[in-house]
């Protein structure tokens, strides 16, 4: 498969619980606001790491985490309105 396709394809991100064991085991058991705040903080830390990284594989992994955290945040925001 083409590398550009992998990097820029619009496939849905993996769920945060699949990538982050701490989130899956611990944070997911907390209230919605705590999970939301965890995602916001995680995105901030990951964006900082992304700016500092020079490794292609690491950048790809960080971007995957960011997409998963943003998707989780969106899902949590959707629950708040339901």
Per-residue pLDDT band for 53 (boundaries 50, 70, 90) equals very high
What residue has token string 């699949």? 18
Per-residue pLDDT band for 5 (boundaries 50, 70, 90) equals very low
pLDDT tens, position by position, 20-45: 999 999 999 999 999 999 999 999 99
7: three-class secondary structure by DSSP: helix
Count CA within 13 A, CB hemisphere, residue 11: 10
């Amino acid at each position: 498969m083409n590398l550009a396709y992998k990097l820029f394809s619009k496939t849905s991100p993996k769920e945060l619980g699949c990538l982050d064991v701490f989130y899956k085991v611990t944070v997911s058991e907390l209230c919605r606001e705590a999970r939301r705040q965890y995602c916001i903080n995680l995105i901030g830390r990951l964006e900082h790491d992304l700016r500092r990284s020079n490794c292609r594989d690491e950048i790809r992994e960080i971007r995957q985490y960011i997409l998963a955290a943003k998707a989780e945040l969106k899902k949590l925001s959707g629950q708040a309105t339901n």
